[in-house]
Structure formats: structure tokens, C-alpha cells
């Protein structure tokens, strides 16, 4: 159980570092955010089943719902940005013009 938790924490930190480093393309940032959310989902689910805390067993489902909403909004922004600007480079966007 401990090695699984350590692996999930490493996956979370690598995805967080990916969000901080790979900020050139929007799609890479969205993929790193999905990695963060999925590692949190698995970690919360494992902790709930390990410690038998079934009173908060709805929390992973709520996290998945917010993750789906975040992915939908992110993909909608990606489509909108790629149709208006022609690519998904974040550096080419000027927030004052949008």
C-alpha cells in the first residue's frame, strides 16, 4: 500500500512540474492537469477504502465530475483558440486583445 501511495504522489508531482514547465502548448498543459486530477482520484479512492471512511465515499465521484467539466471547458478553449489563432501556442496569445 505504501509503494502505491508513493507512486501516486510521484505521479502527482511530475504532473504538477509538467504544468509549470511545459506551458508552450495548451494541449500539454491540459494533459498534465488531467494527470493531476487522475492521481488525486486514485489516491483519494485508495485512502477511503484503506481506512474504511465510507462517509466521504462520494468525494471521488465529485472529483471526477469536476474533472470532466474541466476537460470539457479546456477542450472548448483549445478549439476556440486554434480556430481564431491557427495554433495552440500560449505565448502567441495576448490576453488584452481577446
- How long is the chain? 98
Is 35 domain-assigned?
A: yes
Specify the DSSP class assigned to residue 67. H
pLDDT in tens, 11-30: 999 999 999 988 788 899 99
DSSP string over 57-82: TTHHHHHHHHHHHHHHHHHHHHHHHH
Q: Report the CATH number at residue 80.
A: 1.10.287.3510
Query: Which pTM was predicted?
Result: 0.84
Tell me the pLDDT tens digit for each residue of 61-87. 999 999 999 999 999 999 998 888 888
CA 23 remoteness from chain centre: 14
Range of 67's domain? 1-92
Report how many domains make up the chain: 1
User: For residue 68, is it within any domain?
Assistant: yes
For 23, the 3-state DSSP assignment is coil
**Is 58 within the bounds of a domain?**
yes
Residue 70 burial (CB < 10 Å; 0-12/13-18/19+)? middle
Asked whether residue 97 is assigned to any structural domain, the reply reads no
Amino acid at each position: 500500500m505504501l509503494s502505491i501511495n508513493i507512486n501516486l504522489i510521484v505521479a502527482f508531482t511530475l504532473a504538477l512540474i509538467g504544468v509549470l514547465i511545459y506551458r508552450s502548448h495548451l494541449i500539454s498543459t491540459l494533459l498534465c492537469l488531467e494527470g493531476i486530477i487522475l492521481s488525486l482520484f486514485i489516491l483519494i479512492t485508495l485512502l477511503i477504502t484503506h481506512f474504511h471512511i465510507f462517509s466521504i465515499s462520494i468525494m471521488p465521484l465529485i472529483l471526477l465530475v469536476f474533472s470532466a467539466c474541466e476537460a470539457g471547458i479546456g477542450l472548448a478553449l483549445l478549439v476556440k483558440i486554434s480556430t481564431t489563432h491557427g495554433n495552440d501556442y500560449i505565448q502567441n496569445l495576448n490576453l488584452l486583445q481577446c
